[in-house]
Amino acid sequence: MAQSIHGKIALITGGAVRIGRAAALALAAEGAHVIVHYHRSGEEAEALCDELRARGVQAWPLRASFSRREEYATLIARALEMAGGLDILVNNASIFPRDTLDSVTLESVMDNLEVNAWAPFVLGRAFAGAVERGTIINLLDSRLSGYDWAHVGYFFSKQVLELMTRMMAVKFAPNITVNAVAPGLILPPPGEDARYLDQLIATVPLQAHGEPEDIADAIVFLAKSRYCTGEVIYVDGGRHLVEYARAAPPS
């Protein structure tokens, strides 16, 4: 039985733009108040908060860098102080740098791990320690079922976040649920245009790319779910079912 999230307070990391923004709007449409975490997109975060308030919920922008330990270590405490409570944590912020098995460095692996896996875990642990009941939703990637030869550090970090999703689900039960959404082809990476998606559509069984709202729908489903924990929902048109398992390393 789905539970209402009307009046609940959600923190979305990287929430000012792209998929995070769609998630903020979708949660607000269910009546949730939203803390929009941002790093560089301060103007977009302010504008989104204005838009959310105009839709009848409370909204607060909140800045932190996930490359600076002292900033993300205090984020949950700052969010609680700002909003007076917290019920939903969406770990959406991420970096996606290019590297291959030939070029990847320890520095790149550590950067990816810190922003994409360690900071979400630190937020999750602080959240679970501070709230009586709540739900955590981590953003993964449908490539997890295979390989990503062009973003190796990113790929490692999302594998770790998937593992942490399951471990946190067990550790934080029974009062906190921890689940994940694994998007497929949704938006081109910053700096790429629609051709990036068009070239890859043939790899998707449903023969189309998804929209940020498709991911937001899954986030809302998990935020409202009473009985799902440790689960990963692939929202990728079936892409994880094909290709990656067979994909050979690039020559």
Ligand X SMILES: NC(=O)c1ccc[n+]([C@@H]2O[C@H](COP(=O)([O-])OP(=O)(O)OC[C@H]3O[C@@H](n4cnc5c(N)ncnc54)[C@H](OP(=O)(O)O)[C@@H]3O)[C@@H](O)[C@H]2O)c1
Instruction: Give the footprint of ligand X on this chain (CB under 6 A).
Output: 14, 16-20, 38-41, 65-67, 92-96, 115, 139, 141, 183, 185-187, 190
Determine the residue with CB nearest ligand X.
Answer: 14
Q: How far is the CB of 42 from ligand X (least distance, A)?
A: 7
Q: How far is the CB of 43 from ligand X (least distance, A)?
A: 10
Q: In Å, how far are 79, 94, 159, 183, 186 from 213, measured between CA atoms?
A: 25, 18, 24, 11, 9
Residue 31 or 65 with smaller CB distance to ligand X: 65
Q: How far is the CB of 122 from ligand X (least distance, A)?
A: 12
Q: Cβ–Cβ contacts within 10 Å for residue 198, how many?
A: 12
Q: How far is the CB of 212 from ligand X (least distance, A)?
A: 7
Indicate the DSSP class of residue 249: P
The contacts of residue 64 (CB under 8 Å, 6+ apart) are 37, 39, 71, 72, 74, 75, 78
Q: How far is the CB of 65 from ligand X (least distance, A)?
A: 5
Q: Cβ–Cβ contacts within 10 Å for residue 248, how many?
A: 7
Residue 67 or 74 with smaller CB distance to ligand X: 67
**Helix/strand/coil (H, E, C) string of 6-42?**
CCCEEEECCCCCHHHHHHHHHHHHCCCEEEEEECCCH
Residue 104 or 144 with smaller CB distance to ligand X: 144
Residue 14 or 134 with smaller CB distance to ligand X: 14
Chain-centre distance for alpha carbon 37: 12
Residue 126 or 251 with smaller CB distance to ligand X: 126
